[in-house]
Every structure is written in C-alpha cells, then in structure tokens.
A = this chain, B = another copy of it.
Amino acid sequence: MEKILVAGEWRDADATSSFRAINPNTGETLDREYPVSGRSDVEAALAAGNDASRELKRTPRQAIARFLEGYAQRIDDRSREISAAASEETALPVSPRLADVELPRTTNQLRQAAEAVRNRSWTQPTIDTASNIRSMFVALEGPVVVFGPNNFPLAFNGISGGDFAAAIGAGNSVIAKAHPSHPHTSQLLAEAAFEAVEEAGLPAATVQMLYRTSHEDGELLVSHPLTGATGYTGSRSAALKLKQAADNAGKPIYLEMSAINPIFMLPGSLAERGEALAEELIGSVLLGTGQFCTSPGLVVVQAGDDAEAFIDAARGQVETAGVGALLSPSGVEGLGRSVETLIGAGAQLVVGGETAEGPGCRFQNTLLRTSAEALLAAPEDLQTEAFGNSTLIVVAADADEMVAVAGAVEGSLTGAIYSHTGGQDDALYARIEAPLRQRVGRLLNDKMPTGVAVVPSMNHGGPYPATGHPGFTAVGIPASLQRFAMLACYDGVRERRLPDELREQTSIRGCWRQIDGEWTLS
C-alpha cells in the first residue's frame, strides 16, 4: 500500500480500504495499491495544516516564492516520468498534450504565482492616509483544501494545479485531495512538492495529500472548524454535497462544477464559412476526447440550408475522427447516461451514441440534434452535461427562437457567438448577447472556448451552476489568489506594526497599491 503525505512525512494511512487506478486505454487495472483514508488521516492533516498555516504567516514571502519556483523546476526536470504516469492513468497523450501543453502550463502557473508572491499586487493594498485606514488581502487562518478533477492530471491537480498555486501563492497551506483516477501522477507530483518544501525551508506540512476519503470525510474536510476554504473542480453532484456542508459551516468553497458552454452560430457566419466552422467545432468538441470543462456541448443554429449543410459537415468530421479513450469506466457510463437523457428529452442521434468497440474506455464520437422548441420545453434535461466526445446541435426555427434559447441557457463557464465577418449579423448579435452575457463567465467571438489562457483578464468561472459564485475565477493570476484570502483592515495601527505592504515606505518593489484613490507602483 502506498503512503500518504501528512504532517510533513510520507506515512501509512489509517486506511479503511484501498483502490487501484485503471489504464483507460487498455482497461487494465494498474499495480499500485492506494489507501482510502479514514477520519484520523483527515483530522491529522487538518491539525498539521493549521499549524503550518500559522507558521507560514511568519515565513518570509521569498521562501514561498522559492518553493513555487523550485517545485516548478522539479516538475520540469521530471517531465518525462510525470507525463508518462499521467498518460498511463488518463489515456491523454504524452504528446501533444501532457508533456507539450499541460505540463508547461502547470509550471507556468506555479511561476506566475511565485511572481505574485514577490510583487504582492494580488493583496490590493488600499491606503487612505487622511484617516490612516489601510487594508489588504491576507492568507486565511486555516489550510485550504483542494479537490482536483479527473480531466487535467497536472494543470488542475489538487497538488500542482491552478487552485494549488493560488492557495499557496496567497500564503496558505494546502491539503490536496488527489483524484483517485490518477493517484500515481499525484504521488510523483507530491514527492516533488514535498522536496521543494524542504528545500525552501517552508513548514513541513505546507503541502499534504490524501488519495481518497469517504464522502462523509470529504464533507468534514470542507466544513471542519480548522478549514480555511476549499477549491473544488469536478462533478456537479459531488460538488453540491460539499457545498452544502461548507455553507452550513460558514466556510468559503469555490466550485467549478459543470458547464455546457453554448455556441451560437449566427446565420451570416454559416453562410460565409459553415464548413470551416463545422471543422473548428468538432475539433474543439473532440479535444481531449471532449473532457474539457469548457467543451462546447450545445450549438445553436438557425434552420435552413446552411444549417443542414453545417450539420452534415459536422457529422462528416465526427465520423472520420478517431475515437479517443475516456478517462475511466465511470466516464463511459456517465456519458452513456447523459446521451440517454438527452435522447429521452427529445434529441435525435445524428451519429454515435453507443459504447465503442475496442479495448479500454471508449464511447463513439457522438453528435445529436434537437429543435429550439424542444429545448425550450425541456431546458433542464436538454442541458444535461454530456462530459466527453459528444455535442448537441439545436436548430432554431428563426432568430427569435435563437434569442429565446440564449435566455434559457444555464449558468456556464463560457458562451461563444460566431457571426459574419462583416456587420450583417450585428442586430441579432446584440439580441443574443444581452441574455447570454449574464449567463456565462467568458464570452467569445468567433473562437472556441477550449483554450483557457493564464492571463490576468481570464475568467474561468461563471454564474451558478457553473460555479458557486459569479465573482471569482479559478484561472488567471492574481485574481485567482483572492479566493483564498480574507480582507484585513488596519485602522490607526502604528506604522511599525503594519505589514510591509501597507507601510508608507514599503520595502516591496513592483507592488501596485491604491493610495488615496490612485494606483501607485512601489
């Protein structure tokens, strides 16, 4: 049985049972046996994490930055080993996905977080000199719990991903709950993280990791009096249970839980470049076998010859594309159930719809269609997230129906509108944009949503039920750090007792501070 990382050591779990991961490409069970932790592991991690959080507040920020950079370097150094492990456990290709894109993105996030730790701009120091009142964001009191999802074993992993980088960057300790579909990947990352913690001289329990717990103990993790906050990426059903537990305890929880990412293809765009758009759409739908949070699951077109030609072209793309493996057997089952729900609610199968032949976890590339009338009659069922290589095209009778669909979409991470490169779709664009804008975190023009740039302006968030709160983003530094912080005001506090960020003469360089209403660079 493999060991867990708790309280500054790799140690035997208080295991209630064990599990093994599966190679989704072949369906075979992998060798390593991992523990399902019992309650005492959870409590030990929370106690040690709380002590580490307290110590971190006395730790020079340079040490935290050095940890993030040292960890990033160790991941880079072991790129081959980590990517191979992740590929074995997820069926995602080493190249061009894991080693070439996701791993560099992961280390880039860690390095951006290190830069945020150094320049402190994320704390938004706000100083009113006349009243001598000063405020900034500071780390939470207790550890941050991070639940990673199955679909990004590196860039969203609880021990290395965006929430991890944000929580550490904000000065917190982290208890990572690895996703049980890729325990060995998480283990390799945690080994590198722990070495980097020791090298940087951070408190030993700054990073901890459990592989799996019971649902009850997961709820304890997010609601325990010692918990600072939680970041979660994963399924909506599990998310809502954790949300309820955290909410009842008054603990912040940031959830990224589902999205169908609607795309509106306005008539002018289909007339102008329908075939190219079909190719672009299906490329995005099948990227990572469709297992992206931002995968386009609903495509709205207006009825007519152009729409039918577009659907034909999309079908052609779907039919000729290879069938990628899904992340797990439960992913195959889940996708099958969702497709069934969609069909039960009135969607028609254009192509695919069944578990695929061959070894491992595979489902046929799937294209469905329905009418806007049907969607408006059963908006909930026909917006069932089909997580994987499937999408649903909604054919609206006319422009009014397209607008009505925009007003019926659920809160989502993204929404895209494709329009004619000239101005001929502009009137309809405005009518669709108004309701769509309020339902999505990121609005795109003529662009698929599957790329998520790590830049300050990114919003990887959106209205419920895409996330739990429409004001926060999980990607984009420095904004993502503020989720794992509290607002701390200093009123009349003597100069020598102020944090460096808030002093008249700060020693920090490169920090943007709002002084008497003006943003000023230190």
Residues on A lying within 8 angstroms of B by beta carbon are 54, 57, 126-128, 131, 133-135, 137-138, 140-141, 243-244, 247-248, 250-252, 411, 414, 429, 433-434, 437-439, 441-447, 449, 453, 455-459, 461, 463-465, 468-473, 479, 482-483, 485-494, 497, 512, 514, 517-519, 521
Q: Is the CB of B487 within 8 A of A441?
A: yes
Q: Is the CB of B487 within 8 A of A134?
A: no
Among A57, A133, A464, chain B packs the most CB atoms within 10 A around the CB of A133
Chain B residues in 8 Å Cβ range of A489: 441-443, 457-459, 473
Q: A443-B491, A457-B135, A486-B438 are in contact. Are A470 and B140 (CB under 8 A)?
A: yes
Q: Is the CB of B444 within 8 A of A492?
A: yes
Taken together, the copies of this chain in the complex come to 2
Minimal beta-carbon separation of A55 from chain B (angstroms): 11
Looking at the complex, which one of B141, B434, B518 makes contact with A463 (CB distance below 8 Å)? B141
Looking at the complex, which one of B131, B251, B433, B459 makes contact with A487 (CB distance below 8 Å)? B459
Bound complex: CA of A434 vs CA of B499, how far in Å? Answer: 12
Among A137, A411, A482, A487, chain B packs the most CB atoms within 10 A around the CB of A487
Q: Is the CB of B128 within 8 A of A455?
A: yes
Q: Is the CB of B457 within 8 A of A486?
A: no
Minimal beta-carbon separation of A127 from chain B (angstroms): 6
Q: Is the CB of B54 within 8 A of A133?
A: no
Chain B residues in 8 Å Cβ range of A243: 247
Q: Is the CB of A470 within 8 A of B486?
A: yes
Bound complex: CA of A433 vs CA of B128, how far in Å? Answer: 22
A-B contact pairs, 5 of them (CB 8 A): A126-B479, A131-B453, A133-B453, A137-B471, A247-B248
Q: Is the interface of A mostly helix, strand, loop or mixed?
A: mixed
Bound complex: CA of A482 vs CA of B469, how far in Å? Answer: 12
Bound complex: CA of A121 vs CA of B140, how far in Å? Answer: 27
Q: A133-B458, A438-B486 are in contact. Are A491 and B447 (CB under 8 A)?
A: yes
Q: Is the CB of B468 within 8 A of A250?
A: yes
Q: Is the CB of B457 within 8 A of A128?
A: yes
Q: Is the CB of B455 within 8 A of A131?
A: yes
Minimal beta-carbon separation of A81 from chain B (angstroms): 32
Q: Is the CB of B251 within 8 A of A244?
A: no
Looking at the complex, which one of B126, B140, B472 makes contact with A456 (CB distance below 8 Å)? B126
Q: Is the CB of A437 within 8 A of B488?
A: yes
Residue of B nearest to A135 (CB): B457
Looking at the complex, which one of B438, B447, B472 makes contact with A492 (CB distance below 8 Å)? B447
Looking at the complex, which one of B250, B443, B465, B519 makes contact with A519 (CB distance below 8 Å)? B519
Given contacts A443-B490, A447-B491, A519-B519, 4 further A-B contacts (CB under 8 A): A437-B488, A457-B489, A459-B487, A512-B518
Q: Is the CB of B126 within 8 A of A250?
A: no
Chain B residues in 8 Å Cβ range of A141: 438-439, 463
Bound complex: CA of A304 vs CA of B17, how far in Å? Answer: 57
Q: Is the CB of A471 within 8 A of B486?
A: yes
Looking at the complex, which one of B247, B442, B472, B488 makes contact with A443 (CB distance below 8 Å)? B488
Bound complex: CA of A445 vs CA of B498, how far in Å? Answer: 11
Q: Is the CB of B140 within 8 A of A491?
A: no
Looking at the complex, which one of B414, B459, B461, B469 makes contact with A252 (CB distance below 8 Å)? B469
Q: Is the CB of A443 within 8 A of B493?
A: yes
